[in-house]
Structure formats: structure tokens, C-alpha cells
Amino acid sequence: MLINLKELSTPQLKAIRQVLVGGSLATADSSEVKRLRKENAQLKKIEQRRSVIAEIGLDLDDDRNYWLGLDDSTFKFVVGKMAELQKEVALSERTFNSIKVPALTSTINLDPVVIVREGLRNRRNGHSD
């Protein structure tokens, strides 16, 4: 879209000039630009990591500083290990639930008084059991 500046009124030209000068002054403040870029990068990082952490059943907001403090390779390693552990736990739970364990009861009388009496009787009778 082309604008013919000759057709604009003086107040319109002054308004355009003010926007252009104000915009260039705003970008001239490099510390503000750096802060905004850093904040934008942080927000992108949060959104990327939020979905990855949600896949392993955690909420990023619970330990936000920890998750955002990890560099990318450490983050991938930790999340990968947690995902592996989660799979192993699920497999072991399925395996555990499928094992049939027999009742641990005995038909033998394990009364200590009876056992001692039998031992003394055998001893008197000359048995060496």
C-alpha cells in the first residue's frame, strides 16, 4: 500500500513522524530489547517443556524453576529417564497383577510344645532324629 505524503495534512504528517521517532527510540533502548527477548525465549521454553513434562504425568508449574533451570541436554536426559522408569513401573505392575501367588498356609502342626515333647519322647526311646 503506497501513501502519497503530499496528500496528507500537517497534523497527520506530525503524527506519523512521532510514531516513527518514538518507535526508533524504543528500539534504541537495548537493555529493554534484551529483556523482552529473554522473556520471550523463556516463554517459548516454558511452552515447549510444559507439553513434554505433561506426557510423563507431571505439571511444570509445580517445580517451574527446576525445570527451566536445566539446560536442553540435561532436560532431555532427565525426562527420558523418567519416561523409561514410568514404562518399567507400568510393566512391573501389569506383571505383578498377573502372577498368581498360592496361599502361604501349612498343614503341619508347628506348635512348639508338641515339637519339644516329640523330641524328648524320641530321645527317651533312643531315636536320634
- For residue 7, pLDDT beyond 80: no
Could you state, in order of their start, the residue ranges of all structural domains in the chain? 30-99
Least confident residue range of 24-28, 33-37, 74-78: 24-28
Report residue 28's pLDDT band, with 50, 70 and 90 as the boundaries.
low
- For residue 77, pLDDT beyond 90: yes
Cα 1 to Cα 19: distance, rounded to the nearest angstrom:
18
Q: Is 115 helix (H, G, I), strand (E, B) or coil?
A: helix
- The whole-number pLDDT of residue 29 equals 64
Burial (CB count within 10 angstroms: exposed 0-12, middle 13-18, buried 19+), residue 67: buried
Distance of CA 56 to the CA centre of its chain: 6
DSSP 36-92: HHHHHHHHHHHHHHHHHHHHTT--GGGGHHHHHHS-HHHHHHHHHHHHHHHHHHHHH
**Are the beta carbons of 59 and 53 closer than 8 angstroms?**
yes
Grid cell locating 73: 541436554
